[in-house]
Structures are given as C-alpha cells and as structure tokens.
Amino acid sequence: MKTFSIFRNHAFGKIQQRAFSTLLRDNIDRKTSASCCIHGNHVTQTECNISSNNLQFWSRAFSSGTKKVDLSHVPDIKDFIKSSQPRIDHVNLDEVPPYLENAVYAPPPNGKTVYFEMYGCQMNVNDGEYAWAILKEAGYMKTTDINMADVIMLVTCSIREKAEDKIWNRLKQLKSHKQNYHTPGYPKIGILGCMAERLKKKIVEKEKAVDIVAGPDAYRDLPRLLERATTDSTTAINTMLSVDETYADIMPVRFDQESKTAFVSIMRGCDNMCSYCIVPFTRGRERSRPVTSILEEIRILSEQGIKQVNLLGQNVNSYRDLSETQHSAVEVNTGNMSRGFKTIYKPKHGGLRFADLLDKVSQVDPEMRIRFISPHPKDFPDEVLQIISERENICKQIHLPAQSGSSNVLKLMRRGHTREDYLNLVERIRTLIPGVVLSTDIISGFCGETDSDHEDTLSLMNLVKYEYAFLFKYSMRQKTHAYHKMNDDVPEEIKSQRLQEVIQVYQDVLPTVHQKTVGKTLLVLIEKDKTKVPNTVQGRTDGNVKVFIPNYDVASSVTSQNTRTVCTGDYIAVEVTSYKPNSYRGIPLYHSSVRSFRVDEQKQRSEKLKSAV
Ligand code: SAM
Ligand code: SF4
C-alpha cells in the first residue's frame, strides 16, 4: 500500500483534487495498492496501479516522502479535465516551487531592477502591483527607466485582437532594445497575465526575445521563473490556473505612491461564459478573496491616507466569500440576483455576498470613497442597491455593461437577460439611488447582429443616456463559444460604421446629461495638484467624472473665514460652471468631507430658501 498526501497549495485546487481522486479511481490495473489523502478525503484503492502520466508524476513526487518535485510535467487543469496532451513547459525544475509548503525561494537577485508596463483594464494594473510586491519581497528593485531595467515585465490583455496587437508591436521594439543592450541576454522580458495564459509557449515561438511567460495565477512563481531564465538561459513558463488563488496574503505595492486612490482586488476569474468573451479562459474560475483579508488591506490603505478604493473583479458583484462557514446562512433567502433576472447557470448558494462586503468595507473609513468595477447586470439585487444608496462613502456610480440593446443579440451573447430586464434594472437603480451616474460597455457587430438589432442598441443608448461609455467593435476570440459555434458574419466595414453610430449617439446625449449638472455644487476628490494647464488641479466627482478647477486657497470649511491650499486627497466643494465631453470645469468653494458635505448642502439650500422668502 502506498500513501500519497497532497497538501493544500495554490497549484492544486479543489477541482484538481476532485479530478485527481477520479483519475486515481479510473486508472487501476490491479498491481499496486494505493491510498490517496486529499484534504482529509481518503480515496483508497486496493490493487491499483497508476497508469496516467499525470498520476505517475504525482506518484514520483509524493511517494518518495520528499517534497522535491520535478515540476516540468506538473499537470494543469486541462490535463485533469480532458486528459489532453502533456503540458509543455520549458522549465526543468528540481527544486520546490514557491507555492508549495516550506517553499525554497530563489536566491536574492543582487539588486536587479525591474520595469513594468501595464496594458488593458484596472485589474491588470493591480496585477502588476501584486507582481511587483512579490518581486520586491524577493529582492528586486523597481525602475521607471526602461534603459536601466534588468527585467521588463509586460502585464498583458487578451480581450480583443487589438489589445494583443499592441503587445506584439511592443515586443518587436523590446527585441531590438535587447539586441542593443550592453549586457548580452538582458534585459529579461516577461509576459504576464491574460496573453501569457492564452498563448503560452506560442509567445516564445513567435517572439524569441521572451524569457518568462506567467499566467494570472502564477505571480508567486515569478522569482523562481526569473532565476531559472537567468541561470539556464531558457524560457520559463508557468500558466497553471488555480481555483483558489486570490493572493489574499499579499499586500500589493502601489506603483503610484503619491496617489490617494488605490485598487483592491476582491475576486478573480469568471464563471459566466458569455459567448464572445475570453476572460473565463484566461483568468479561470471565479473565486472570492476572504472578507477579512480585504478589510485588512483597506484598513492599511486608510492608515496610509488613501481616500478612494476601487474594488476590482472580472465580475465584481458576483463576490461570494465561502471562507467562513457562518456566512452560509446569509443569502439563501435572498436569491442574490437583480429583480426579474434569470440565470442561465446554476445559481450559487451560500457565502458572504457583495452587499455584505460593501456594508463592511464602507464602515472601515467613512471618509474613504468606495467604487467597484466591473459588475454584471444580473448581480444587482435590491440589497446591493440599498447599501449603495444608504452609505455616503459608496459612490453613486454604477457601471452597467449592456453589450447590446437587442434581446436577440443578448441571447446569442448568453448574457442571461433581455433588453426589457436591463431597462427595468436601470429604472430600479434610478429609483433607489436618485442621481446615480450610469456608464456602460457596448459591443458593435456581434455574430448575427442585424440592422434592426443595431437600431435597438442605439435606442437603448438614447433611452438610458449614459454619462460615459466604453464602445467596442466585436473581436472574435479563439476558444469562446462564439468562435466554435457562430459566424463572425458582420463585415468589418459594417462593424466600423455601427460603432461610429453608437459613438455618435453617445456623444449626442452627453450635453443633455451634463447640462443639468452645470450650476450644481459637487464634492470633488482632488487627484492631481498639477495638470497640463498651469495653476489648475484635477479631481473627480462622486460620479467618476473628471473636474478641473483653478488652484487657489479656499475656505477651510463652509462657514470658515480662514482659507487653505488645495492638495491631493482633499475633498473640495466645487460649483460646476461648464462641461467638455468627458470632464467638468468648476470653481472651488470650500474644503469639505464625505460626511459633512450633504449636511452643508442641505443647510445652504434651506438658508437660500429662507432668504428668498
Ligand atoms: N464582466 C463584465 C460584464 O460582464 O459586463 C465585463 C468585463 S470584460 C473584461 C470588459 C468588456 O470588454 C466587456 O464588457 C465587453 O464589452 C468587452 N469585450 C469582451 N469581449 C469582447 C470581444 N470579444 N470583442 C469586443 N469586446 C469585448
Ligand atoms: Fe466576460 Fe464579463 Fe461575460 Fe465574464 S461576465 S464572460 S468577464 S463579459
């Protein structure tokens, strides 16, 4: 009888554990006895020999009683699920990877410098901050001068072909930078994130300059990968996806230490499988970071003087923390979906949900603004809307990606809702959160989109009147449902034309949207005390619109005669005087705070009324 013990680690999540158990059961050829202990779940087989390559690997790794593991054939999720080709990994490792227990880290890199470039969404910026925290801990130093860098890390995006094209072009430039560099073989170039996950070794084959390829769940492994790429001059690849990696124990190191705003990742991955989207394949399964670790990070950020956190996730309002069992009773009775929405997937029960998280997060520091991105329309139950409405420090701004205004297209996209459901949700949001600022994402030219579907999108935009919008042409992505089952049948020029029309409608409604703000006094968080325009500072409204104001001292409070300067991180009451397409101009009135602003506003209104009478 042989006993295999597999310890909980990031490389071996629950799905893999289950799959491993199944493989054990399915691979008997009646020679050896084996017992497998996975998280206390004993899977015992008598007379069993392990015939799959993957199991031989684990057998070698664990039966010898040593934790020294050759990771060159570590199975990834695909190996377990589809029993596919062995994973190709250029790294031949003979030491324990850092994410295994009692990990041996790579030796200190002797003051090597690393330079980061981030592409794509805010999640990628935050991923870069995690990667930097891990490399800093391993002894690397950061440089903002690419010419001084021993290592160049690109945190990449795969969402559309255009996003990947940008990286390919950048890699060509970096290749020539490397060829002209004073030290042969340097700088080491790393591709991190979604493109690494999507293309794996293809990146190395196409662009010979790349030394490291690390998927979004492999950042802990960066010191080891770098060490390997340095000592062996081989390309080191780790694109294993995890089902439980949330980097919960790592405090990301912010790139902009001057900034008063910060990103906080609360969940990773996506289980929704919209038919056009690559995210579930590049970012893996949905998993939420334990609430305790989120609150701790926000507490630390508050102590550091951070005035705004942006909670991040591919599907941020699907947040569901299962780490503490006492949460499991919380939401069974709530359904946790937007009113009237149905899900095409199995509903998930148990866990602490997004409304509970917002409740807790907003209490950490009442003077800290809370935003979140990117949510899915289906996950806005009334509880979420109510907490946004009640808490002064949760911004009254909701990004509500529509993707299309046509129910036919939404069905093809597998969004799980109709145009009517979406419009009802908009109405519900505006009822519960008066004055809310809405923004959206639209895709033009999806498979099967007719002229009439496109007209529906234009009419949706006219009806909702978004304050801002992210507008895209459909870009076919391999692996997705649409790639396999649908025709990318809208000609390129029609896609472009439709996109132009969507942009035009968006721009046409903006004056109506912004005009009603002119003359109002808004609370603005100052983000930059210098801008391109001399003596001008830049801030942001609660609704996330940029505001430019002249830089002069203003009253310390609404009632004070004293004045003081306007600095980054200050809350200033600003009267909006005019607008440009994506920003306001205004006059700074007085220093204020999240808590006192509403009270001040109400007082002023009633004083105005009194004097008018
Ligand atoms: N999770 C959010 C949701 O469900 O609405 C969206 C997150 S996704 C990372 C960001 C946006 O990229 C999407 O809302 C969509 O508009 C756009 N997008 C995703 N796949 C695309 C594709 N294949 N072509 C064009 N745009 C795409
Ligand atoms: Fe992509 Fe968002 Fe759909 Fe997930 S919910 S598959 S991230 S579009």
**40-77: per-residue pLDDT in tens?**
333 322 223 333 333 333 333 333 333 333 333 333 33
Ligand 2 atom at shortest distance from the alpha carbon of 376? 5
Tell me what the mean pLDDT of segment 121-127 comes to: 94
271 pLDDT more than 70: yes
109-140 in b/e form (b: 16+ CB < 10 A) is beebbbbbebbbbebbbbbbbbbbbbbeebeb
**Residue whose tokens read 């690397």:** 140
pLDDT (tens digit per residue) in 393-403 = 999 999 999 99
User: What pLDDT shows up at residue 374?
Assistant: 93
Closest residue (by CA) to atom 3 of ligand 2?
A: 274
Cα 277 to averaged position of ligand 2 atoms, centre (Å): 6
DSSP state of 122: H
Residues with CB under 6 A from ligand 2: 270, 272-274, 277, 279-280, 314-315, 376
pLDDT level of residue 474 (50, 70, 90 thresholds): very high
**Angle subtended by helix axes 382-390 and 354-364, to nearest 10:** 10
pLDDT (tens digit per residue) in 8-17 = 333 344 434 4
DSSP state of 540: E
Tokens for 366, please give them.
């009442």
pTM summary value: 0.82
Q: Is 170 helix (H, G, I), strand (E, B) or coil?
A: helix
Q: Is 141 helix (H, G, I), strand (E, B) or coil?
A: strand
For residues 6 and 440, the model is more confident at: 440
What are φ and ψ of residue 305, in 5° steps? 90, 15
Other C-beta atoms within 10 Å of 398: how many?
Answer: 26
Check: CB of residue 187 under 8 Å from CB of residue 149.
yes
DSSP state of 269: -
Q: What is the mean pLDDT of the chain?
A: 83
pLDDT above 70: percentage of residues in the chain: 80
Nearest to 436 by CA among 416, 470, 466, 458: 466
Ligand 1 atom at shortest distance from the alpha carbon of 476? 23
DSSP state of 56: H
Ligand 1 atom at shortest distance from the alpha carbon of 314? 1
User: What pLDDT shows up at residue 581?
Assistant: 84
Mutation test of ligand 2: which of 122, 123, 277, 443 has the most ligand atoms closer than 8 Å to its C-beta? 277
**Integer angstrom CA distances of residue 140 from 115, 135, 147, 201, 222:** 10, 5, 16, 26, 11
Cα 593 to averaged position of ligand 2 atoms, centre (Å): 36
User: What pLDDT shows up at residue 282?
Assistant: 95
User: What pLDDT shows up at residue 344?
Assistant: 65
Tokens for 410, please give them.
């939404």
Closest residue (by CA) to atom 11 of ligand 1?
A: 441
Max intra-chain CA distance, the chain: 97
Ligand 1 atom at shortest distance from the alpha carbon of 315? 1
User: What pLDDT shows up at residue 345?
Assistant: 67
- Which of 599-608's residues contact partners 24+ apart within 8 Å by CB, and which partners? 600/558, 600/573, 601/521, 603/558, 604/521, 604/558
361-395 in b/e form (b: 16+ CB < 10 A) is bbebbeebbbbbbbbbbbbbbebbbebbbebbbbb
> Residue 374: is the preceding peptide bond cis (ω within 30°)?
yes
**Residue whose tokens read 């980054």:** 568
Closest residue (by CA) to atom 4 of ligand 1?
A: 376
**Integer angstrom CA distances of residue 386 from 310, 320, 371:** 19, 18, 15
User: What pLDDT shows up at residue 5?
Assistant: 34
pLDDT (tens digit per residue) in 580-596 = 988 999 999 999 999 99
Tokens for 250, please give them.
């790592």
**Residue whose tokens read 């009802």:** 424
DSSP state of 462: H
Check: CB of residue 475 under 8 Å from CB of residue 160.
yes
Tokens for 126, please give them.
């935050």
Tokens for 593, please give them.
């705070």
Cα 232 to averaged position of ligand 2 atoms, centre (Å): 39
pLDDT level of residue 533 (50, 70, 90 thresholds): confident
Check: CB of residue 139 under 8 Å from CB of residue 114.
no
DSSP structure string for 204-240: HHH-TT--EEE-TT-GGGHHHHHHHHHHS---EEE--
**Cα torsion angle, 290, 292, 295, 296, sign:** negative
**Residue whose tokens read 């990628």:** 124
